[in-house]
Every structure is written in structure tokens, then in C-alpha cells.
Amino acid sequence: MIGAVKTFPEGFLWGAATSAYQIEGSPEADGKGPSIWDTFTHTPGTIADGGTGDVACDHYRRWREDLRLLEELGVNAYRFSIAWPRIFPTGGGHSERRGIDHYSRLVEALLERGIEPLVTLYHWDLPQALQDAGGWLNRDTTERFAEYAATCFDCYGDRVGWWGTINEPWIIGLLGYLHGLHAPGVKHDVRGEATCFHHVLLAHGRAVQELRAAEGRARIGIVCSLAPHYPAGDDPADIAASRASDGYVNRWFLDPVLKGSYPQDMWERYESLIGALDFVRDGDLVTIAAPSDYLGVNYYARRVMRAVPGQRPFPWEVVHGDAPRTQGGTEGAPMTGAGTEITPHAFTDLLVRIRDDYGDVPILITENGAVFPDEVHDTRRVQFLHDHLAAVHDAIEQGVPVRGYCHWSLMDNFEWALGYAQRFGLVHVDHETQARTVKDSGRHYARVARANELVGVEE
Ligand code: FCB
């Protein structure tokens, strides 16, 4: 049972989130060109269980059925991404009418049902032709992105009210160029990582400029994966490591977008690792800081940090569960099915911190969710959802302007390098038959979304 009624602000957006490559399948339909994820998943050894997105949830063909799921979930918003290579099969030049029309029908059908489309332009499926020309390490890719964004504004701008530019710049560089776990699968390239970061941020700024030039009235913002940081203990080295890692994960993206400068500490760290950051040119920061309308926040877990002196490239590590409660720790925190700690209070800390450090930028929670292996009776996800929504509500009560919440994910889907075993959905998908079944968490979410307030968790 909960105490005082926790009502959300009027007009709060209740959404579910997906991305194109994770659900669509049909990689060659209607003239689509290959993306780096088509290439990567077809490279042996990259994906657990050898999975690919060739079929995924077959959503490109079953999207009408999936709209009914959104209605069952009671949401008034749906966050999805456009596959760039469906619009420009080779990244630029010739655009593909059939791909454009597909998303046009989807947007139309959402609006008919009173569901606000929240559209992400880049959720990682870079056209392979652009990768062949250097991908995000090639500055010209930012111009191709601006062209693609302008085309989308032109085609859908009369109906789409919320645009997200780039999904999770940190993950793109970290997993794409440092760990090699995501496309394009490059390892140990710190310069590549930093170059990629800068270019995706620049691409974000260019898209914002394009929207303003088109006099679009829609809102636009970047979507960042953010993690509140806590030192593992009172050791000054851990406190310094926590601050430094915060520079790498959070401030490296928030500062340029919202303040127009890179954080000095992290800038110096990169310089000491890779020499001059000569890919940052005069005027770039003005472009990156082109005023956005909101910040998209993806929150999954906190980071509890311990110093690892001398470790390269970064002298810190994430540890589990042993931070004092006063520093965000939860001794004995429950775990998700993916082994990450469940610490909803850290979500409140994160949201309050964004407001304290960056001002009253409106916030849209663009992703939050967890892996639980339970199938349809997913009691743990119901609890997770309840606790994280309560955490968002706490932040709103403290004056943080949160405009909406999207749960990751609408349905179980292709979880990148982890394949199909990791289930994040409010809707269960049988990957053999494509049968969809709303989980208990989906029913709970529908009750909350329809009431616009937290409702009790049913036993
Ligand atoms: C985020 C991604 C999303 C999904 C979730 C679990 O990093 O944006 O596509 O994979 O994690």
C-alpha cells in the first residue's frame, strides 16, 4: 500500500519505448539499405546466441497489431526510432519514398489513437555506406545526418511534436570504439571514441539548427544515458574517481549541450591520453549548444566508483553494493536479471542533480526499465516500475520539470550484443511464433497511465 496519493502533472506523457533495429526486422523491405547493425550481427561471434535483427519482432509488418498493444497499455505517447537507411538507403543522396511512407502511416495511426509520437532520429543504425566512408569518425557524417534530419522534419514535421536527435552518445562511443561490443565493433581506440563523441554531439546540434531553420514548432532534444555517481567509500581517491568518471559519463555530454563547453577535467584527461583534440573546431560548441527544448534521460543504474590507480585508459571501476546508504548505497540491493542493482532513489538523485547543475531544462524520461526472466507474471518488474515511478514523482515534488516517462521497452526484443535472452518488455514476445502477451507489468502500467497517478501494487 502507498500513503498519500501520488498524482502526476496534467498532460504528463506516459509512453513505451522501442528502437527500429531492435523490433522491425525486414532488413531489405521497401528498398532499405544495410546499416552497421546488419553488418555487425552477421559477423560471427558478435552476438550472444548468434542472434540478428533480421526478424526481431517482425514489427515492420505487424505494426498495426502493435498499435493495439499500445492501446492496451493505456499510453498516450510512443517513443520509436526511424531507421535512417530506410529513408536514405546509402546515407544521403537518393531518398526512398516507400520508407518515408511507412513511418508516415505509423505517425498517422498513432495520432488517430491519441498517442503522441516521440521520434528518435538515430538509434544506432548508421547506413553502412556512411560507415564505409569512415562513419562517425568522418566529420562529413554530421552533415549527412543534418540532411537526413531535415528530410524527416519536412516529411513528418507537421505531425511530430517531439524529436530526439541521438540516442545515448556515450554508449555509441564506449561500446562502438572502446569495448567493441556494438557496431562498428572497434576495440581500444580512445581517440576513435572521443572523435565519435564529438561528431555525434555535433550531429545533434546540426539537427537542432535544421529544425529551427525549418521553423518547426516541434520540441527537439538529445537523449543521454546518465548514471548518478557515488564513491565506494570515504577514501579521497574514490571520491576523486567518482567525480572523474562522472565527467566521462555525464558531464562530457551535458556540459557541451546545455552549457556550451566541454568539462575541463575530462578535456585534460583526453589530452593526456590521445594528444590534441583537434577534431573540435572553432564554432563547434556553439552548434552543439544550439538551444534544445528538452533533455531525454535514459536511466538504468547508478555507478558506485572505486579508484584503480594506473589503470588505462581510465583509472576507476564500478563496484557493487558496498557504498554507504548516505552515498547512494543500498547494502543488499536487489538485482535485475541482468545483474544490475535496483536503486530507484538514485534516479531521484540524478533528476535533482540535473536541475541543480543545469537549470530548469524540461526532462523527458526516454528510457527506464530492467531485465527480468519471469515471463508473463513479472512481479519483480511491477515492483521495479512502481518504485521508479515513485522516484520520478519525488523529483517532480522537488521541482524538477519532468514532462513524461517512457518505459523500456514496449515488448521483449533484440537486445543488441546480448541477443534475445534479455527480456525488457511490458509485453512478452514468443520469438518463435511472434505471439504477444501483455505482462502483469503492462497491466499495472495501464492502470497508472490511465489514472495519471501511482496505484497500489496488486498482490
Ligand atoms: C539502452 C538502449 C536501448 C536498450 C536499453 C536496454 O542503452 O538505448 O536500445 O538496449 O539500453
**Burial label, 6 (beta-carbon count in 10 A; 0-12, 13-18, 19+):** middle
Q: Which atom of ligand 1 is nearest to the CA of 415?
A: 10
Query: Which grid coordinates are listed for 76?
Result: 498516450
- Any atom of ligand 1 within 6 Å of the Cβ of 120: no
Per-residue pLDDT of the chain (459 residues; tens, 9 = 90+): 445 799 999 999 999 999 999 999 999 999 999 999 999 999 999 999 999 999 999 999 999 999 999 999 999 999 999 999 999 999 999 999 999 999 999 999 999 999 999 999 999 999 999 999 999 999 999 999 999 999 999 999 999 999 999 999 999 999 999 999 999 999 999 999 999 999 999 999 999 999 999 987 899 999 999 999 999 999 999 999 999 999 999 999 999 999 999 999 999 999 999 999 999 999 999 999 999 999 999 999 999 999 999 999 999 999 986 544 445 544 567 889 988 899 999 999 999 999 999 999 999 999 999 999 989 999 999 999 999 999 999 999 999 999 999 999 999 999 999 999 999 999 999 999 999 999 999 999 999 999 999 998 864
On whether the pTM is more than 0.75, the answer is yes
Task: Tell me how far apart the alpha carbons of residues 298 and 167 are, in angstroms, rounded to a whole number.
Answer: 9
Give the pLDDT of residue 6.
95
User: 424 CA to middle of ligand 1, Å?
Assistant: 9
- Any atom of ligand 1 within 6 Å of the Cβ of 125: no
Q: How big, in percent rounded to 5, are the helix, strand and coil portions of the chain?
A: 45, 15, 40
The closest residue, in CA terms, to atom 10 on ligand 1 is 415
User: 56 CA to middle of ligand 1, Å?
Assistant: 15
Task: Tell me how far apart the alpha carbons of residues 410 and 16 are, in angstroms, rounded to a whole number.
Answer: 5
Which residues are identified as catalytic?
A: 168, 367
Give the pLDDT of residue 326.
47
Give the pLDDT of residue 422.
95
Residue 417's contacts (CB-CB under 8 Å, 6 or more residues apart) are 46, 47, 48, 175, 181, 182
Residue 236's contacts (CB-CB under 8 Å, 6 or more residues apart) are none
Q: Torsion-angle region of residue 49: left (phi > 0), alpha (psi -120 to 50) or beta?
A: left
- Any atom of ligand 1 within 6 Å of the Cβ of 193: no
- Any atom of ligand 1 within 6 Å of the Cβ of 299: no
- The H or E element containing residue 15 is strand 13-17
Which of 249, 298, 336 to mutate for ligand 1's pocket (most ligand atoms within 8 Å of CB)?
298
- Any atom of ligand 1 within 6 Å of the Cβ of 38: no
Cα torsion for 323, 325, 327, 328, to the nearest 10°? 90
User: 300 CA to middle of ligand 1, Å?
Assistant: 9
Task: Tell me how far apart the alpha carbons of residues 81 and 164 are, in angstroms, rounded to a whole number.
Answer: 9
Give the pLDDT of residue 217.
83
Residue 406 near residue 365 (C-beta atoms within 8 A): yes
Give the pLDDT of residue 324.
47
Query: Which grid coordinates are listed for 28?
Result: 531489405
User: 22 CA to middle of ligand 1, Å?
Assistant: 9
User: 422 CA to middle of ligand 1, Å?
Assistant: 11
**Burial label, 207 (beta-carbon count in 10 A; 0-12, 13-18, 19+):** buried
